[in-house]
Structure 1
Amino acid sequence: MWRSSFDISSPDSILLEEIKNGNPKAFDVIFKKHYDNLCRFAFFLIHDADMSQCLVQNVFIKLWERRFVSEPIKNVAAYLTSMVKNQCSDYLKEQRIRDLTLQENNNNEPDNSTEEEIFGRNFEECLVIALSKLPPRCRLAFEFSRFENLTNKEIAEKMDISVKGVEALIGRSLKTLRVELKEFLPSFDSRNINPVLFFLRIPQRYFMARKNSSFLSF
């Protein structure tokens, strides 16, 4: 017998159990609970609103289709975010293949992309890979902070941990991402605003002040 009383405050664990039992109402609640955040995350990666919605919808379709055979899910938000990230990664790879094919069909005309566009594409691809290397709770805290612009207090409430715990998780995430994305960070004498510094929330003045120090010691 299916439960019939659900809302977005219902625990994900209960909703997942009902989904495994084939309860469409529980699936609708999971969809409404996570859809918007996942679309924002996908848009950050591929910069295409319509395709972002399409990829996120595909993820929910797969969640429903695999409901009877899927592995145990401990954190729904992290699990769905990982699925969306993989969908976006596959989409970007397909886009690159199409771009290369089109370029070959145009008699190998040179790529007219600006340096900034190339930098942006490379950064996004490396970011997807770097995020996949984070422990689930670190990634979740980081995504709440950077993709949803939540305060540490709001993140603490969502994750049911202390603010200090949130700070520790984000700190661990930044430590990993700084290493993984170090090729995109500016040289110490750079005076231009760098989008990677903005994303990681690293003050540019820090690099100017530590010109002779090791970046990895930050």
Structure 2
Amino acid sequence: MNEAAYILNLLKQGEKKGLQLLFKKYYRPLVLYALKFVRRQDIAEDIVQEVFIKFWEKKSFIAVDQHLRSYLYQAVHNHCLNSLEKNENRRITSISDYGEWAEEERLDDSEWNQKLEEIYREIRKLPPRTQEIFLAVLFKNKKYKEVAEELHISVNTVKTTIARAMITLKNNLNKKTYLFLLFITKNL
């Protein structure tokens, strides 16, 4: 039995040890993931803690089969989007807007890593400058203006480069992997 299955089993038995193990294994990676969206450590920590509390109090673990990691990342992602939308009064696209990323399509750890590797493999095929811009905006959460100033290019060049990179990736990745890319990156 893998660690995630063991944790789920403990949680389903009502054992708080399961919650402790869940926290120990996933807290730090989830906070780092949340930081991609909210950019503040305290907010990221609050979001992850809230996800854990709701996961325990609402007994959400009962519905989670084998894809604990994917479930937690999706929950943190959605909480981050809700936090941004509430705190910044701007529309953020939620994962449900991606349509085809259904609840039953949660990925387990190996599928998650495989999708990431496919994405990074395609990103490495992009021209070096395009890679630099794409990674800065989508994975380092830098603003277009910030990237433009750092690279001494116009904001429009950054936007055009990102748009072209997304088209290339959409054409080179299978549909499910491209939807996964949309899920893990911030909203453009």
Q: Report the TM-score when normalising by structure 1.
A: 0.49
Q: For each residue in 1:10-65, what CA deviation from the matched residue of structure 2 results, as whole angstroms up to 9, or x when unmatched?
A: 62112212112211112101110000000000001110110000000000001111
Count of residue pairs the alignment pairs up: 139
Residue 21 (structure 1) aligns with: 13
Q: For each residue in 1:167-209, what CA deviation from the matched residue of structure 2 results, as whole angstroms up to 9, or x when unmatched?
A: xx3466579xx9xxxxxxxxx9x98952457757xxxxxx99x
Q: Which amino acid aligns with 1:24?
A: K
Q: Please tell me the root mean square deviation across aligned C-alpha atoms, in Å.
A: 4.4
Instruction: Give the secondary-structure state (helix, strand or coil) at the position aligned to 1:137.
Output: coil
Decide whether the 8 Å contact of 1:22 with 1:67 is kept in 2: no
Identity of counterpart residues, as a percentage?
A: 18
Residue 55 (structure 1) aligns with: 47
Residue 112 (structure 1) aligns with: none
Decide whether the 8 Å contact of 1:38 with 1:81 is kept in 2: yes
Gaps of 5+ in 1: 1-8, 101-121, 143-154, 156-165, 179-187, 201-206
Decide whether the 8 Å contact of 2:69 with 2:108 is kept in 1: no
The 5-angstrom pairing of residues 1-218 of structure 1 reads 11-67=3-59, 70-97=62-89, 125=92, 133=101, 135-137=105-107, 155=113, 166=114, 169-170=115-116, 193-196=132-135, 199=138, 215=168, 216-218=170-172
Counterpart Cα distance in 2 of 1:194 and 1:49: 24
Go from structure 1 to structure 2 and tell me whether the alpha carbon gap of 1:140 and 1:62 turns closer, same or farther (over 3 Å shift).
farther
Counterpart Cα distance in 2 of 1:17 and 1:138: 16
Q: Which amino acid aligns with 1:20?
A: K
Residue 182 (structure 1) aligns with: none
Q: Report the TM-score when normalising by structure 2.
A: 0.55
Gaps of 5+ in 2: 140-159, 173-188
Q: Name which one, 1 or 2, has greater alpha-carbon Rg.
A: 1
Q: For each residue in 1:40-91, what CA deviation from the matched residue of structure 2 results, as whole angstroms up to 9, or x when unmatched?
A: 0000111011000000000000111122784133211111001101100100
